[in-house]
Amino acid sequence: MKKIILSAFALFLLFSPQAFAHTYLDVTTPANEEVVTTDIQTIELNYSGQIEEGSFFTLEGSDGNEIPVSSFAVNGGKLTGHLDEPLNNDTYTVKWNSISQDGHPLSGDFSFTVDKAVGEQIDEVKTEEQPNIQNTEQESEYMTPSTEVVEKDEQNSSTPLIIAGIILTVLIAISAFVLWKRKK
């Protein structure tokens, strides 16, 4: 019986680091709900851990039409998409699908707005940017990746961990009961 308990404990220790190491989307550039005032041709998604080749995202304008992404690059925990041309003024949604290093599928979305000055208005915008800096800092808490997406991924990834914990608890309880019965 001691061998069974030790084996169960060894299996738990062997697999528990993997159970706690699920990857999630950490930071995006541009950030969720950010208003971008410059040309943008690159979108970056940074994850808390490594992601696999085959991870990608789609980019949609406010009209629902997909904007083509010319290439993707995966480097460790960063997914970068390159666009052929700078984005026009509009609100965009990035819908991402990634594969973590342990094979766990990840997905979600975030939005940002491009609001560049056009033509002669550039000088006016530069002089008006100073007062908006304080508002941007105050709103920075809203410019982080969507916590709703992160929470969905964390909830989905914790299910196997909960099941494994319940099974382990039941095995330990049964082993303790059998040992207790043998001593009597």
Residue 114 β-bridge partners? 36, 90
Share the mean pLDDT of the chain.
77
Instruction: Name the strands in the sheet holding 66-67, side by side, starting at the edge strand that comes first in the sequence.
Output: 34-36, 105-114, 90-99, 56-60, 66-67
Per-residue model confidence as pLDDT tens digits over 19-78: 455 789 999 999 999 999 999 999 999 999 999 999 999 999 999 999 999 999 999 999
pLDDT of residue 5: 66
Residues 111, 94 contacting (CB under 8 angstroms): yes
The 10s digit of each residue's pLDDT in 93-125 is 999 999 998 888 999 999 999 999 876 444 444
Neighbouring residues of 8: CB distance < 8 A, sequence distance ≥ 6: 168, 171, 172, 175
Closest Cα partner for 111 from 31, 19, 10? 31
CB atoms within 10 A of CB 51: 23
More confident residue, 163 or 105: 105
Give the list of residues 6+ apart from residue 147 with CB closer than 8 angstroms, or none.
none
Closest among 47, 71, 74 to 59, alpha carbons compared: 71
- Specify which of 102-106, 124-128, 179-183 reaches the highest per-range mean pLDDT: 102-106
Q: What span, in angstroms and rounded, lies between the C-alpha atoms of 25 and 167?
A: 30
pTM of structure: 0.57
